[in-house]
Structures are given as C-alpha cells and as structure tokens.
Chain A
Amino acid sequence: MAELNTGDSGGGKDKKVRSKKQNSKVDLTAMVDLAFLLITFFMLTTTLSKPQAMELGLPDKEKPNEEDQNIKVDENRTMTIMLGDNDKLVRYVGLLATPVAGGAPKDFIYGKEGIRKELLSRKAAVLKYTGDPKKGMIVIIKPGKKSNYRNLVDILDEMAIVDVPTYAIVNDFSPEETKLLEGNKK
C-alpha cells in the first residue's frame, strides 16, 4: 500500500498510517440500503404474486330443472340478468311477460354507475317487500353465447360487492329472451 502512494504530498509517516486505518473501514451504508431494497422487493413479490381466486359453487347437475318445477319462487324477488356480446347487459325483474313495475327489460352498463345502482335499489325494494331478511333478492344470471368470460366474472363480482344473497347461473334461454338479447345489438 505504502509503495503505491507516490507520496507527492510529502506528508509524514504518521499521516500515512492514519489514512491506512481509514481505508480499512468501508462505508457499508449504501450496501445496506441496497440489501434492504432487495429484501423489500422479494418480500412483496412473493406475497403479492399469489393469484386471487373467486369461489364459485354451482348446483348439482343431476336433476336439471328440478328447481323450476318444484320450488315456486316469488317473481317479485327475482331479477334476471342476461349477458350479450360487446359487453351488453339486459335485466328484467319478475317474469319477462309480466315484469314488475319498473322492471321491464332494460339495458345497463357494467360497474358502479350501471348495474350496481340497480341491484342495490332492487335489493332494498325486495327486502321492503318481503319484510324478511332471509328472503332477499334472487338474481338469475344468463350468460349468452356471445358473452365473454370477463362479463361473467364482472357480474359475479357485482354479486359479491352488492352481497346478493342468492344467485344462480342459468344456461337456458327462452325464445323471447334470445330475441331480446339479439335485438339488443342494433
């Protein structure tokens, strides 16, 4: 070390020794900073990279249409949501032929300003109508053939956000419903 110093400053011997001492101590602050930055990065990536998942329970497939035949559901409690192509969404309340007041088939958009407002107001109305917290709203989701997976997940997510007590995915379309959904395109 001493040989490397060309000694142009012309300092004394004691000065050289002191500089040697100082050099032996490396400033580790920057290294610690870097290490902690990397730790933070790895901690966050390991915990955040786990994918989210939405639980979906479907009714048993064994006896189709049994529900329709045996269990009579008050049509005032049901809302049917049909999903079409290009993110179209039609909903009606009650039966299609005789919808409940204000529940005629109507287009909605996804999200906060669209179907969620309707779901919330309808949910409150149903509770008022039945007067029994156990008999809440029933939502029937009918994804059309042209609807995509995002639409389905979006509407299931709305169910979770609005906290609809009962909802089901139904794949049967009546001719009237198909007409409604397809006529909706224009």
Chain B
Amino acid sequence: MAGKSSKKAASIDMTAMCDVAFLLLTFFILTATAKIPEALPVDTPSSTVQTKLPESNLATLTIGGKGKVFFDLKGREVRIRTLELMSQKYGVEFTDEEKAKFSLMEGIGVPIGNLKQLIGMKTAERSKAGQPGIPKDSLDNQLSDWVKNARIANNEANNANGSKEELHIAIKGDAKEEYPSIRKVMDILQDQGVNTFSLVTGLRGKNF
C-alpha cells in the first residue's frame, strides 16, 4: 500500500504541459507555410554567406536545364497586377478565376500564349508538363517584360502602402548551368537598370 502511494507522488500531472506543448505545436504548424513544389528544381551552389532572402518584395528567376528561365513572384496582389499588365501588353485575356489561380501558383516557365493552358492544369500535371522556359531572345523578350511589369506592380502596391521599397530580384541558378546563360539573365536585368540582385545559394560549412 505504501509503495503504491509513493509511485503516485512521483508522477507529475502532465496535462497542462501537454496542453501548452500542443498549443505551440499547432501554432508552428499553422505559421509554417506549405512548401509549393518548385516548377524547375535546381541544385544551387553553396556559399558561406549568411544573408537570408526577404519574404516579400521578391521576384525569383530560376535558371536551369540548359538556359531555361522560370519566373516566380511573391505576394498575391502583386502577382495579379503583374498578370494584368502582361495581358494588356500581349493581348491575352485572363478571367478573374484564372488570375486568382495564378496568384497562388508556383513559378512559371512558359510563353505568355501558353500561360492560360498552364493555369488550367492541376498542380501535379504542371510539374510534369515540361515547361520550356520563358522566351528571352532579343526579338521576343518576355522575361524582360515580366520583370518590368512585376516591378511596376510592386511599386504600385508599395506606394499604396506608403512604402518606397523596390522589388528585390534574386537569381537562382543551377550549379552546373554555364555562365553565358546566367550572364544573359543578368544582362536583361541590367538593361532595365537593375544592377543589384541576389544570388540564391545553399549553406556551406564554416570551415570551408
């Protein structure tokens, strides 16, 4: 009898602790953003820099697979506005439903003419679709227009909020990508006067 009562005393009531733990757990699960599968998976080279990319005001140009360029943009409002500007320029109409769907999509890598078709696909189909990349020749430089319109849309959104922050542009290149295709993208950015951008890298050990 005495042994039993001493056992009882040794066990602490865990209910409250369990409550707190699960509350925190729920919080972290909900705040963690679901990772959208990347349209073009790339193996980024690693570096020792510790700077993190910003969460908003960001456009990412992913370069991989022999010079294919994919475009991705953060922020739903900015994405919708960018798409509107693009549709004005290229005369491709999008419905409100398609715009809403575009605002939640991952990066795109198709010419504007095929974008409607891409938006219509399911997420799983899209990743298998084998997107050819955004055209970036001097004759049909849609990539340049995407970046330009994204910057305009971003500035409009920021001006409405009273902020003066410019769109941040990151280049996410595959480690094996040859330099000329990277240079081509840098040139497109520089032609618009974007001279500062980030190169997305992985993390490397400190004693490299």
A residues within 8 Å of B by Cβ? 25, 27-29, 31-32, 35-36, 38-39, 42-43, 45-46, 49-61, 83, 111-112, 143-154, 156-157, 160-161, 171
Given contacts A31-B14, A35-B22, A150-B175, contact A46 B47 (CB under 8 A): no
Stretch at the interface among B99-107, B108-116, B123-131, B188-196: B188-196
Q: What are 24 A-B interface contacts by the 8 Å CB criterion? A: A28-B14, A36-B21, A42-B32, A49-B35, A50-B53, A51-B200, A52-B200, A53-B49, A53-B199, A54-B47, A54-B199, A55-B196, A57-B195, A58-B196, A60-B193, A61-B191, A83-B179, A112-B208, A146-B178, A148-B176, A149-B176, A150-B175, A150-B176, A153-B46
The smallest beta-carbon distance between B36 and chain A, in angstroms, is 12
* Interface size class, chain B: 35 or more
| Dominant secondary structure of chain B at its interface with chain A | mixed
B50 contacts which chain A residues (CB < 8 A)? 52
Q: Is A39 within 8 A of B196, CB to CB? A: no
A145 engages B201 (CB within 8 Å): no
B180: Cβ under 8 A from any A Cβ: yes
Q: Find chain B residues with CB under 8 A from A156 CB.
A: 47, 199
Tell me whether A39 and B15 are in contact (CB under 8 A).
no
Contact partners of A46 in chain B: CB under 8 A:
28, 31-32
A143 to B199, CA, bound (A): 16
A43 touches B28 (CB 8 A): yes
Question: B160 at interface (Cβ–Cβ under 8 A)?
Answer: no
Write out the residue numbers on chain B whose beta carbons fall within 8 Å of the beta carbon of A157: 47-49, 201, 204
Q: Which residue of A lies closest to B11 (CB)?
A: A27
From A31, A58, A145, A149, B173 is in contact (CB under 8 Å) with: A149
Interchain CB contact under 8 A, A53 and B25:
no
17 extra A-B contacts, CB within 8 A, seeds A153-B175, A153-B199: A28-B14, A29-B14, A32-B18, A46-B32, A51-B44, A51-B53, A53-B52, A53-B198, A54-B199, A54-B200, A61-B195, A83-B179, A143-B183, A147-B179, A148-B178, A149-B63, A157-B204
Take A46-B28, A58-B195, A59-B195 as given contacts and tell me if A53 and B201 are in contact as well, using a CB distance cutoff of 8 Å. Answer: yes
**What residue of chain B has the Cβ atom nearest to residue A145's Cβ?**
B180
Within the assembled complex, what's the spacing in Å between the Cα atoms of A29 and B200? 42
Q: Which residues of B contact A144 (CB under 8 A)?
A: 179
Chain A residues in 8 Å Cβ range of B98: none
By a CB distance below 8 angstroms, the chain A residues around B25 are 35, 38-39, 42
Shortest distance between the CB of B101 and any CB in chain A (Å): 25
- Contact in complex: A52, B178 (CB < 8 Å): no
Instruction: Give the chain B neighbours of A42 by CB distance below 8 A.
Output: 25, 28-29, 32
- Residues of B2-53 at the interface with A, using a CB-CB cut-off of 8 Å, are 11, 14-15, 17-18, 21-22, 24-25, 28-29, 31-32, 35, 44-53
Instruction: Please indicate the chain A residues that have their CB under 8 angstroms from the CB of B174 in the complex.
Output: 149
Contact B175 A32 (CB under 8 A): no
